[in-house]
Amino acid sequence: MSASIVLGTQWGDEGKGKVIDILASRADVVVRSQGGNNAGHTVANNGQTYKLRLIPSGILYKDTLCLIGAGVVLNPKDFLGEIEGMQARGISCDNLKIDPRAHIVLPWHIELDGLSEAFRGGKDIGTTRRGIGPAYMDKYERSGIRFYDLIHPEIFAEKARATGRLRNEIITKVFGGTPVDIEAMIEEYTEYGKRLAKYEGDVSVLTYEAQKAGKTILFEGAQATLLDIDYGTYPYVTSSHPVSGGVCTGTGVGPKMIDEIYGVAKAYTTRVGKGPFPTELFDSTGDYIRDKGGEYGTNTGRPRRIGWFDSVIMRHAVRVNGLTGIVVNKLDTLAGIDTLKICTAYKKADGTIITDFPPTLEGLEGCEPVYEEHKGFNDDISGCRSFEELPEVCREYIERLEELCECKIKMVGVGPDREQIIERD
């Protein structure tokens, strides 16, 4: 019996899906607490690759209960498409439950996401345009539509008419956009509601009961620490709480039930979308890593920005999340680079050295990464299954990251497949 969180420590796409899939082989329940279909989690098993957006990454195990908590924003149309896609590949989605409190992403959210981004001009956030920000805006403004409403046609129609009218005023009169056909939308989404009704379940209760019954529970983070609405690089962030604290509010569980908090990182750093990225590479090494690591968005296909491993953001992630362990993925991708760099601190414009990640963009402005250099490696490490099998330079690199992050590195990823992991301890 245990409860663990797996979350992102950088700017997303650290390989959380893979880690969840690995740990799910020993778990009974996997729970998503926040975010929506802005996530893209890849699970690779035996030559088969699955890209999940809303369905928890425990779905490949037929007996694992997969829960979607109150803190998630759910796009019903996309979610049904995802279920159908999995079913077409022989994966059963019968073990899914959605909390009635989860908010629904509707067409006007998607429309408003695109219109707001366009309105920001060159200062756009680079969102996934999945309507995530506008859906959370409605939730906090207390005019959102929840999963419970969606699966009760009369309530849904009434609420959709009430809030849709105002959203259309904003779309047309503020932005000059095309209004949503509310009646057609109600008809279409009522059908989705009917198909999804069987998945309703109180995730707070289900998780609590599972824990009381001695089950093993995994909480699957989406996005990442530096994309957190408070602890990320605001405003270049997402609209939810991907940090460990978000698990409690997003699922309806207390903090004392959590035993382990794994922070997933890459052996370098990536970011998709706009915003500060101190260790970003603009040279051929960045291109090499992007090509070798296939660094293109799982969800949107956008090329990911690439940079060196940044221990300043990692220490921030260790502190903000209370990490008990780190997983470093994609060490294999660094093979073939002569010299590896690790950022140990930032140097401010006035020459001061700082080791804590600044809380504001203004504080980050003018900060230059301070690097130390490590010898690279050429070996193909994708077949290594124990830490001892890794070449000495790789072991030294990982041990140095561990020292700088001030947290134990418990797993090292050497390839995308669920087998390609080295567990330490």
- C-alpha–C-alpha distance, residues 44 and 330, integer Å: 14
With CB under 5 to 8 Å by kind, the binding choice for 238 among ligand IMO, Mg ion, ligand GDP, none is ligand IMO
Token pair, residue 389, equals 């099998």
40 is a contact residue toward ligand GDP (CB under 6 A): yes
Helix/strand/coil percentages in the chain, nearest 5 = 40, 20, 40
Which helix (H) or strand (E) segment is 45 a member of?
strand 41-45
Q: Applying CB under 6 A, which part among 30-38, 189-197, 365-373, 411-419 lies near ligand GDP?
A: 411-419
Instruction: Provide the token pair at 408.
Output: 């134990």
- What one-character DSSP code corresponds to residue 172? I
Least distance to ligand GDP from the beta carbon of 413, Å? 2
Q: Which residues between 235 and 294 bind ligand GDP (CB under 6 A)?
A: 294
Interface with Mg ion, residue 13, by CB under 5 A: yes
Asked if residues 24 and 218 have their Cβ atoms less than 8 Å apart, the reply is yes
**How far is 264 from 16, CA to CA, in rounded Å?**
6
333 touches which of ligand GDP, Mg ion, ligand IMO, none (CB within 5 to 8 A by kind)? ligand GDP
- Per CB under 5 A, the segment of 184-192, 292-300, 383-391, 394-402 that binds Mg ion is 292-300
| Residue 37 makes contact with ligand GDP by CB under 6 A | no
Among 4, 10, 11, 14, binds ligand GDP (CB under 6 A): 14
Q: Which is nearer to ligand IMO, 125 or 317 (CB)?
A: 125
End-to-end Cα separation, the chain, in angstroms: 19
Closest contact distance (angstroms) between CB of 360 and ligand GDP is 26
> Rounded distance, CA 269 to CA 67, Å?
29
Rule CB under 5 A: is residue 298 a binding residue for Mg ion?
yes
Rounded CA-CA distance 317/314 in Å is: 5
3-state secondary structure of 360: coil
User: Catalytic pick from 41, 103, 241, 316?
Assistant: 41
Residue whose CB is less far from Mg ion, 163 or 329:
329
Q: How far apart are CA 243 and CA 236, in angstroms?
A: 16
Indicate which residue of 13, 28, 138, 228 is catalytic.
Answer: 13
33 binding ligand GDP? (CB under 6 A): no
- Binding of Mg ion by 263 (CB under 5 A): no
Q: How many residues bind ligand GDP (CB under 6 A)?
A: 23
Residues in contact with ligand IMO by CB under 6 A are 8, 11-13, 38-41, 125-128, 130, 132-133, 222-224, 227, 238-239, 272-273, 298
CB of 189 to ligand GDP, least distance (A): 27
Listed residue (300, 287, 387) closest to 336, CA to CA: 287
Burial of 338: CB neighbours in 10 Å, binned 0-12, 13-18, 19+: exposed
Residue 296 per-residue DSSP state? B
* Sole binder of ligand GDP in the list 42, 95, 238, 311 (CB under 6 A): 42
Nearer to Mg ion, 304 or 316 (CB): 304
**Is residue 304 close enough to count as binding ligand GDP by CB under 6 A?**
no
Strand pairing report for 48-52 and 41-45 = antiparallel
84 burial via Cβ count (<10 Å: 0-12, 13-18, 19+): exposed
Is 13 known to be catalytic? Answer: yes
CA distance 13 to 413: 13
> Residue 127's Cα: distance from chain center in Å?
13
In angstroms, give the least distance from the CB of 270 to ligand IMO: 8
Which residues form the catalytic set?
13, 41
Binding site for ligand GDP (CB under 6 A): 8, 12-18, 40-42, 44, 294, 298, 329-330, 332-333, 413-416, 420
Binding site for Mg ion (CB under 5 A): 13, 40, 298
